[in-house]
Amino acid sequence: MEPSRQPKRQRTAQFDSGRDNRIKEEPDTAIFSDPHDELPFIAPPPSSQPEQAEQPSFDAELFTTIVGERLTTDKLKQLENAAGGNMERAINMYFDGSWKNTRPTQIANPLMKAARQQASKKRKESDPVIKAESTPEYTRPKNLPFDKRYLGVLQAEGWTTCSGTNLLQYGERVTIHREKLRTPAPAKKGTAAAKGAHLRQRKTADLIVRFKNSRGFEVGRLEQDMAKFVSVLIDQRLCSFDGTVVYAPEQCRMNDTVYLQLRVFLLGEAFDQNRNFKETRVVGDLFTIQETEEEKDVRQRQASLVRLFDKIGLEAVVKGSGMDAKKEILKAAESLEEIEAKSKAGTPKPVIKKEGGEEEEEEGEELEQDQLDELYRKAQSFDFDSPEAEPSETFAMDLRRYQKQALNWMLSKERNESLREGSMNPLWDEYKWPTVDEEGLELMDAGQGSFYANLYSGEMSLQFPKQEQNCLGGILADEMGLGKTIQMLALIHSNIPEGIEVPKQSNDLLPYEPKVHTIDYAPYTTLVVAPMSLLSQWESECDAASKPNTLKTMVYYAAGREDLRKLCTGHNLMSAPNVIITSYGTVLSEFSHISHTGTDRVLHGGLFSIRFNRIILDEAHNIKNRNSKTAKACYELEANHRWVLTGTPIVNRLEDLFSLVRFLRVEPWGNFAFWRTFITVPFEEKNFLKALDMVQTVLEPLVMRRTKDMKLPDGSPLVPLPPRDIMIEQIDLSEQERLVYDHIYNKVSATVNANIEGGTLFKSYTSILAQILRLRQSCCHPTLVRRKDVVADEEEADAARDAANGFADDMDLAALIDKFTASESQETQNVANVYGAHVLKQIKEESNISECPICMTEEIENLTVTGCFHAACKECWMQHIDYQKKHDKIPLCVACRAPINDRDLFEVIREPPSALPTPTIGTEPPSAPCLTQSSTEPTIRLRRLNRKSSSKINTLISKLLSFKSASPPDLSKSIVFSQFTSFLDLIEPELKLSGIPYLRLDGTTPQATRKSILSRFSDSPLPLVLLLSLRTGGVGLNLVAAQNVFLMDPWWSWAVESQAIDRVHRMGQKGKVRVWRFVVRGSVEERMLRVQEKKKFLAGTLGMMGKEEMRSERIEDIKVLLGK
């Protein structure tokens, strides 16, 4: 064995990229010891040579004192070379790690140099397999309490790989060892090729565990089940094994079974605290991309350990979590392996995630509604008599009782810093060392009675694992509209850390010098992370909730970023902003920046450079996917107190909650292995009760959740909200609209039929969905069908493009739409230009006419005049014109018999002679002519009667106008929601023509403008209309200034519409809320309502479902929609 040793040793020196360079390099000790050296404890390795012996110019002693670590001779040499003999540089290089990238140029030891040459020669000629026993990737620290220690025995089967007589004999000692494929020479770090090579090697690294007989011949392999975990334990340097032959045939043939008894030793290294187990801890450095590999290591390690403990019958004496996890962990590991096996069998998925595109595959099964209900039930059992807390003086708002109770709860969560003294970390278990060996002989005692193992990460420790930190925050999961923001602001005001020392004045004289590598604490600053659309709302609520000058707020995003360290820490403490509001996008982009460029998080000066007093994640379901980069970025933010706000802590998977818990750093649940073991796996195994019970255990101490329909003990509602009326406004399509609709309907129907027959419904899902989308659009406005850029829903966007192209070839449809739009082109023509003020005057005089000439009604409804200035009701004109056309006559004016042109009909809009300011907000100067003589005279305005406008738009306009002309005028504000921004585009000019002041907000509105739009909407005395895209406005916004809601088109799920309504009908709403849901009679929209009804109970999907599930669900919907 000896001759082969040197080259291997040398290789270590060459390739050891240093898992942990602080660990002192040692001449290799046989970890897989000589079979004769079978005492549980190996004699200490020969001490290393004095390192500094050969370094006259480079004072190694001094170096060692400075860096505080002992390095091996060749490492020192390497450093010295890299630094060109410069001591200072060497120290710097040592600390920043750059020296590792340099190759040793000189080999100090001539013997080793020779060995190296020999090795490289040998490598060239021999197979690429190099014995693992001699390639320690990881070098053992010197100060271990022991090398290895006996743990127990297990029975193993093996099979022979060669034949012969007396290969193995009863009682013969065998050595157990692993062979590993040679690690390729570390090519340039980070290149794709290197990673790829690494991966390939990984995959092919099999699980073979070989054994040699006492003469050193390799005779066989361990049977696979055993090898599976033994290999991992050996590879990961946790254990070593040796064996005794229990049975072996005298005459061995290939593939004969042999029975072995394996003795297991825990290696001292397993207990080394410096091992790089970082990523398994919650507080890990996640700025690395290659996480999945490490995660896999962890998983294998933990599973192998559990299997080992199981096989040798080792039982924990104290279980940290109080639960017997062994079975669960095994189950979890197995299920993962199954998944892995499956995915390997199927299309192989790249393990390395692409850096650009976020791969957000969701995992875990979806919850049924009744399960969700069950989950929430416990969390919602709110004690109405729980104590209240008064907010601080500086808080300017009044809290409701339940809000004060929440404040009290939050304060107690934040202040609960006292940990139960000496409680064990719940992830750890305590084990006793065996006192006797397998033959009952007493073992030598190393003074350690027990050891500790974390079966969720595979970590081992000899020290008692204390629970480090409790979660000083929680989940405020009140339903929307209960004032989560206000409650948080009360908390911000009411719990300000005391006794923080402001750095002395003298420091001010010194220029600010950032301390490198330490994350400074910003004790007075709370970070709020919210979706972009809510930033300005947070800002204004901060102002509203605070007495003047008591709360400094800062919005932090994109432009104008500052060094937060300067702002919030050090001697600027007193002027530090109390609340920094930022978006998820900002967090993500800073995170990506740091992880891609490798900038130091502290030096970056951004969100990651300081430790906040408190972090609040608003709409925290944004991080529900733990694999999303946003979630990972959020985990990395540092704070004393961590809170999440969400109305839906579980959207549709239990894993949604995990991500929140992980963010909160709640031990042990923040450990995914733990979570998987106790929640995901039982749930997947349909052991629902158990899983849900566990989740409740997690939720109970963490979550405060109240719902709007909760009743106080006296029966009164928790939050009295003004009533709301939801009305379905049935719309009848005009004849021409109907033609377009029917055309598309027949087409879709045919497609679906064909696909149902062919069984290809799922395949052609996208195109069908797109066609249905068109169908829905045609209910709104026929010309929408032609637009390509219509869809708010990403899922549908591509499909929509296809459909647009498909329809482009459809000449019939084109003709239909053309017919519809024939006279629309001049729509924008200014009436005043054509007819002049003269017309208006005349109308004004004539508009006193007492009755309609057609229906003889005295109060003319929607007085409408022709181009020849003759007036009648709008409806009467329509009827007349339609009648004439139907009888192939040219419609004539009923009064003068002049031909009437459809386009030249104008609705007369008389504005009450009120003192209303001229509406200028949002609209351009009114394009319809105005005639104002004095403020007491009514203003008259003409609106071209756009018969080519859609029925929906017409209905909307007349509704809005009817508010205006009501007596007294109804000045309430209205919100118009549509999921099609291009539909909003079409509504806009109509509002303009009718002189209805409006504002608009959609996804394209820049953040800076949003705030001013919202405040204009709230502050204006005018009966403004706000056009909102359902996607933008559906979530979060507070629009209590409005009382009327128009939902122009139904969405797939009621939850989304309901959310939109709740923007208006929420806390702070003072008036009755009226909601009109526009639905075209006898159309796909009516059936959508039925689909909605069917799943009204589903938790708000908010478009956050996975692609697949959304599809299969919608296919069902499609069938309903088309009556299949």
The residue among 710 and 895 lying less far from another protein, judged by its C-beta, is 895
For the chain, how big is the Rg over CA atoms in Å? 38
The residue among 894 and 971 lying less far from another protein, judged by its C-beta, is 894
Q: Hey, which residues does 157 pair with through a beta bridge?
A: 259
Nearest Cα neighbor of 141 from 276, 253, 280, 2 is 276
Nearest Cα neighbor of 170 from 208, 213, 209 is 213
Helices 484-494 + 535-545 axis angle, to 10 = 50
Nearest Cα neighbor of 1102 from 1049, 1063, 1055 is 1055
581 within 8 A of 530, measured Cβ to Cβ: yes
Name the minimum Å distance from CB 862 to another protein: 17
Q: Hey, which residues does 424 pair with through a beta bridge?
A: 466
**In the stretch 42-61, what mask flags binding to another protein with x, by CB under 8 A?**
--------------------
The residue among 837 and 896 lying less far from another protein, judged by its C-beta, is 896
The residue among 312 and 854 lying less far from another protein, judged by its C-beta, is 854
**In the stretch 828-867, what mask flags binding to another protein with x, by CB under 8 A?**
-------------------------xxxxx----------
Touching another protein, residues 382-401 (CB under 8 A): none
How many whole angstroms separate alpha carbon 982 and alpha carbon 581? 32
The residue among 837 and 898 lying less far from another protein, judged by its C-beta, is 898
The residue among 877 and 983 lying less far from another protein, judged by its C-beta, is 877
Name the minimum Å distance from CB 873 to another protein: 11
Residue type, 1123: G
CA angle 391, 394, 395 (to 5 degrees): 50
Q: Where on the phi/psi map is residue 260: left (φ > 0), alpha (ψ -120 to 50), or beta?
A: beta
Q: Is 901 in the site for another protein (CB under 8 A)?
A: no
Token pair belonging to 949: 């406008």
Name the minimum Å distance from CB 860 to another protein: 13
Name the minimum Å distance from CB 869 to another protein: 14
Touching another protein, residues 529-588 (CB under 8 A): none
Query: For residue 915, what are the CA distances in angstroms to 591, 911, 925, 937, 1027?
Result: 54, 11, 18, 11, 26
Q: Give the range of 474-482, 593-601, 887-895, 1039-1047 binding another protein by CB under 8 A.
A: 887-895
Q: Is 815 in the site for another protein (CB under 8 A)?
A: no
Name the minimum Å distance from CB 942 to another protein: 21
User: Phi then psi for 727, rounded to 5 degrees?
Assistant: -115, 140
Sign of the CA dihedral with 1012 first, then 1014, 1015, and 1020 last: positive
How many whole angstroms separate alpha carbon 638 and alpha carbon 618? 16
1085 in helix, strand or coil? helix
Q: Give the range of 63-71, 85-93, 818-826, 888-896 binding another protein by CB under 8 A.
A: 888-896
Token pair belonging to 904: 């030249």
Considering only 443, 894, 916, 1115, the residue that binds another protein (CB under 8 A) is 894
Q: Is 1070 in the site for another protein (CB under 8 A)?
A: no
Give per-residue burial for 943-952: e unless 16+ CB within 10 Å, then b.
bbbbbbbbbb
Considering only 161, 879, 1005, 1015, the residue that binds another protein (CB under 8 A) is 879
The residue among 443 and 894 lying less far from another protein, judged by its C-beta, is 894
Q: Give the range of 20-28, 438-446, 624-632, 894-902 binding another protein by CB under 8 A.
A: 894-902
Q: Is 883 in the site for another protein (CB under 8 A)?
A: yes
How many whole angstroms separate alpha carbon 47 and alpha carbon 82? 27
Considering only 208, 892, 1098, 1104, the residue that binds another protein (CB under 8 A) is 892
Report the relative pairing of strands 257-267 and 239-247 from DSSP bridges. antiparallel
Name the minimum Å distance from CB 882 to another protein: 9
In Å, how far from its chain's centre is CA 450? 41
Q: Give the range of 451-459, 621-629, 755-763, 874-882 binding another protein by CB under 8 A.
A: 874-882
Q: Is 735 in the site for another protein (CB under 8 A)?
A: no
Nearest Cα neighbor of 310 from 149, 150, 152 is 152
The residue among 270 and 871 lying less far from another protein, judged by its C-beta, is 871
Q: Give the range of 124-132, 720-728, 876-884, 936-944 binding another protein by CB under 8 A.
A: 876-884
Name the minimum Å distance from CB 721 to another protein: 42
The residue among 317 and 896 lying less far from another protein, judged by its C-beta, is 896
The residue among 30 and 892 lying less far from another protein, judged by its C-beta, is 892
The residue among 892 and 916 lying less far from another protein, judged by its C-beta, is 892
Considering only 876, 1001, 1024, 1030, the residue that binds another protein (CB under 8 A) is 876
Q: Give the range of 313-321, 585-593, 598-606, 879-887 binding another protein by CB under 8 A.
A: 879-887
Q: Give the range of 186-194, 777-785, 873-881, 1107-1115 binding another protein by CB under 8 A.
A: 873-881
325 in helix, strand or coil? coil
Name the minimum Å distance from CB 866 to another protein: 12
Name the minimum Å distance from CB 905 to another protein: 15
- Number of other CB atoms surrounding residue 78 within 10 Å: 24
The residue among 882 and 904 lying less far from another protein, judged by its C-beta, is 882
How many whole angstroms separate alpha carbon 115 and alpha carbon 3? 10
Name the minimum Å distance from CB 893 to another protein: 8
The residue among 854 and 921 lying less far from another protein, judged by its C-beta, is 854
The residue among 283 and 896 lying less far from another protein, judged by its C-beta, is 896
- Is the bond preceding 968 in cis, omega lying within 30 degrees of 0? yes
How many whole angstroms separate alpha carbon 779 and alpha carbon 773? 10
630 within 8 A of 622, measured Cβ to Cβ: yes
Name the minimum Å distance from CB 892 to another protein: 7
Provide the 8-state DSSP code for 269. Answer: G
User: Which residues lie closer than 8 Å to 994 by C-beta, 6 or more apart?
Assistant: 907, 909, 928, 941, 943, 957, 960, 961
Name the minimum Å distance from CB 855 to another protein: 5
User: Which residues lie closer than 8 Å to 98 by C-beta, 6 or more apart?
Assistant: 82
The residue among 87 and 868 lying less far from another protein, judged by its C-beta, is 868
Name the minimum Å distance from CB 895 to another protein: 5
Name the minimum Å distance from CB 865 to another protein: 14
Token pair belonging to 705: 């959740």
363 within 8 A of 692, measured Cβ to Cβ: no
Helices 292-311 + 326-345 axis angle, to 10 = 130
How many whole angstroms separate alpha carbon 804 and alpha carbon 778? 13
Q: Is 897 in the site for another protein (CB under 8 A)?
A: yes
The residue among 767 and 857 lying less far from another protein, judged by its C-beta, is 857
The residue among 513 and 735 lying less far from another protein, judged by its C-beta, is 735
How many whole angstroms separate alpha carbon 1107 and alpha carbon 1112? 9
How many whole angstroms separate alpha carbon 747 and alpha carbon 762? 18
Q: Give the range of 94-102, 186-194, 712-720, 886-894 binding another protein by CB under 8 A.
A: 886-894
Name the minimum Å distance from CB 883 to another protein: 4
Q: Is 895 in the site for another protein (CB under 8 A)?
A: yes
Nearest Cα neighbor of 1026 from 1062, 1051, 1002, 1058 is 1002
How many whole angstroms separate alpha carbon 955 and alpha carbon 987? 11
Compute how many residues bind another protein; rule: CB under 8 A: 14
Q: What residues make contact with another protein under the rule CB under 8 A? A: 853-857, 876, 879-880, 883, 892-895, 897
